[in-house]
Amino acid sequence: MSSGLVSNFEFKLADHERVVFSDKAIAYDATGRAGDVYALLAAALGTADVTKAYQGIGIYFADAGWTNKQLATALLATDVYKTDAGGVSDETFIKHVYKNVFGTDATLTQVTSYTTWMADNGYTQADVLVMASELASFETTIGLVGLATTGIEYTPV
């Protein structure tokens, strides 16, 4: 005798980047804008500090047409980033992002090399954050390919 309840439920969506339920929202474009936002946040804050709320704010602005550089500039100006990074100098920035991207501390030689490279090329911290977040090795480290399947949970704005 059937209770009238469905025990197995399958739901398929094609060509949808965002799904918003009553209790959560999921972005499936991990190789697109949502992935860009996640990678920027992970490079700036570290994966452990990427919250659903931060992801939602970033997705909101990305969907509104902000470039990755605009998103990076806004992120680097937040008190959350400044507190997490421990400062805003290029040296502190390089140390912090290097640790988040490569999982290890940068040597003094590496810090000097990167800060010199920034100055010589006129790169801002936002430029470098975008470049770091787009490194293929970092995208692999943070699992963007897997997130394309499972989605990135976020809090809509």
The arrangement of strands across the sheet holding 18-20 comes to 18-20, 25-27, 152-154
Distance CA 131, CA 156 (A): 26
Task: Return the residue matching tokens 């100098």.
Answer: 89
For residue 144, the model assigns a pLDDT of 84
pTM of this structure: 0.86
Question: Which band of pLDDT confidence, cut at 50, 70 and 90, is reported for residue 8?
Answer: low
pLDDT single digits (tens) 98-128: 999 999 999 999 999 999 999 999 999 999 9
CATH number at residue 109: 1.10.3130
- For the chain, what is the domain count? 1
Domain with 29 in it: 18-154
For residue 118, is it within any domain?
A: yes
For residue 36, is it within any domain?
A: yes
Three-state DSSP state, 46: coil
